[in-house]
A and B are shown apart, each in its own frame.
Chain A
Amino acid sequence: MSASARSGFGGVLRRDLLLGARQRSELANPIIFYVIVIALLVLAVGADAAVLDRLAPPVIWIAALLASTLSLDQVFHQDFADGSLEQLLLSHHPLAVLVAAKIAAHWLLYGVPMMLTALLVTGMLRLPDSALATLLATLLLGTPVFSLIGAVLAALTVGLRGSGLLLPLLILPLYVPLLIFSVGAVEDAARGLPVAGELYLIASVLALSICVMPIAAAAALRARLS
C-alpha cells in the first residue's frame, strides 16, 4: 500500500471510529439484540442441561449472524444519507482502500464487542471450557468475514426502499459455509477432537474475503451511485 493510500485508509478509519464512538446507543443495539436472541432461543428450546450442551455453539453463532446482519445496514447508510459517500467516490484514493477502512471500522465497532459479549454468554450457556478457545478463534476469524461479505451487499442495497428486509435476504445464504465450519469446529472441540482443519478453512475464507470483498464492495458502490 502506498503512503497516500495508507493516509486515505487511516483517515476514513479514524473518522468512522470517531462517529461510532459519538453514537454509543447505536453501538449497543446489535449487542442487546444479540443477547435477546440467545435468551429467546434458550427459552423456546428449554433450559435442560443436556439440551444446552448441544445448543450452545449453534445458538451463539446464529445470534451473531442475525445481529451482525442488523448492524450492516449502518456501514454505508449514514454516509449515503448525508452525501459523504459520494465524496468518497470522488476522492483520488482508490475506492477499494477507503471501503476496506470502512469495513475495518465496522468490525472494530460491532464485531469485537460481539466477541466479548459471546465470551460472557458462554458461561450462561454452559459451554464446556475445552471449547471456549475454539469458539473465540472461530469468532475472531468469522466476524471479519461478516463485515467483509456484508459490506458488499450493504453497498448494493444502500438507500433502497425496503433495504431493511432485502439485505438479510441476500446475505444470509452467503454465510452458510462460515456457519457450518464454525459450529462444526466448536462441537468437535467440545468433544475433544482436533479442530485445526476447520480453523484453517475459516482462515482461508477470511483470506479470500479480504482480497476480494473490498474490491467487490467498491464495484457495488460505483454501480449503485454513478
Chain B
Amino acid sequence: MFTFLHKYGSPQHFYRLSRGLAPWFGGASALLFAAGLYGALLLSPPDYQQGEGVRIIYVHVPSAWMSLMVYVIMAAAGGVGLIWKVKVADAFARASAPLGAAFTFLALATGSLWGKPMWGTWWVWDARLTSELILLFLYLGYMALQTAIEDRRTAARAGAVLALVGLVNIPIIHFSVLWWSTLHQGPTLRPFAPPAIHMSMLVPLMVMAVAFMLYFAAVVLVRTRNELLELERNSNWARELAAEEAAR
C-alpha cells in the first residue's frame, strides 16, 4: 500500500502515467459516446407513454450518477490527501470539483427539460431535485473555498475536510428530502434485482454511462496534470519537462 502510494503518488510519476493514459480514456469515451448516441437516438424504441421524449434519459441518468460518483471520488481523494499527505490526491480532488458541478448542473438541466413535457412543469420541489440542487451547492461551496484560500496546500486540506463533512451529510440530505411526497420515480435499476427496463433501452443507457465515466477519467487526468504543473512549477522535473516540450 505505502510503496504503491509512494511510487504513484509522486507528481512526476503521475504526470507521465496520466499523459499516457488520458488519450486512451478520451478515445474510448469518444467511441462509446458515438455508439451510445447511435443506440440511444436511432436503435432504441420510443417509450409507449413518453414517446420520443424518453431519449433524454440517456443523458440525464448517466449525469445524475456521475454527479454522485464524482463527489464520492473527490471526498475519497481529499481524505487520502489529508491522511497520507499525497500531493497528487489533493490536485485530483481539486480538479474533480468543477467536473462534478458540471455533471450536477447537466442532470438538473436535462431533468427540467424532461420535466416540462412529462410533468408539465420545469421544476418541482421534489426530493431528488432538491437533494441534487443541494449537491450543486456543496460543489460550489467547495470551489468557493478553494479559490478563497490562496495557499494550495492549505486549500487542499481545508477542502478535504469540507468534502468529508459533506459526504456524511449527503445520505442524510437524501433521506430527509425523500420523506417529502415525491414526484420523481423511484430507482429503476437496483444492484440485486432484475432491471425494470427493457434490454433495448438498458444497453444504450449502460454504454452512455461508461462513456460518461471515461470522459470524466480523461478530463480529470488532464486537469490534474495542469494542477500538478502549477503546484510544482519550481521543481526540477517540471522545468525539465517544460524544456523538453519547448525543444520538441
Contact = CB atoms under 8 A, between A and B. Distances in A.
Interface string B152-163: 001001101110
B134 interface: yes
A152 B141 contact: no
B177 A176 contact: yes
A74 to B, nearest CB: 19
A223 B158 contact: yes
A149 interface: yes
B180 interface: yes
Nearest to B131: A176
Given A223-B158, A223-B160, A177 B148 contact: no
Interface size class of A (residues with CB under 8 A): 20 to 34
Contact of B177 (A157, A166, A180, A208): A180
Interface residues of B, number: 29
A153 B161 CA distance: 9
A170 B164 contact: no
Contacts of B145: 156-157, 166, 170
Contacts of B137: 169, 172-173
B159 to A, nearest CB: 9
B172 A220 contact: no
B237 to A, nearest CB: 27
Interface in A25-67: none
Interface string B167-182: 0110011011101100
- Which of B130, B164, B169 neighbours the largest number of chain A CB atoms within 10 Å of its CB? B169
A216 B161 contact: yes
B183 interface: no
Interface of A: 149, 152-153, 156-157, 160-163, 166, 169-170, 172-174, 176-177, 180-181, 184, 205, 208, 212-213, 216, 219-220, 222-224
29 contacts: A153-B162, A153-B165, A156-B162, A157-B148, A160-B148, A166-B144, A169-B141, A170-B145, A172-B137, A173-B134, A173-B173, A174-B165, A176-B134, A176-B173, A176-B177, A177-B169, A180-B177, A184-B179, A208-B168, A213-B165, A216-B161, A216-B164, A216-B165, A219-B82, A220-B158, A220-B161, A223-B82, A223-B157, A223-B161
Given A174-B169, A213-B165, 16 more contacts: A156-B162, A161-B148, A166-B148, A169-B144, A170-B144, A173-B137, A174-B165, A176-B134, A176-B176, A180-B176, A180-B177, A180-B179, A205-B172, A208-B168, A216-B165, A223-B161
Interface of B: 82, 130, 134, 137-138, 140-141, 144-145, 148-149, 154, 157-158, 160-162, 164-166, 168-169, 172-173, 175-177, 179-180
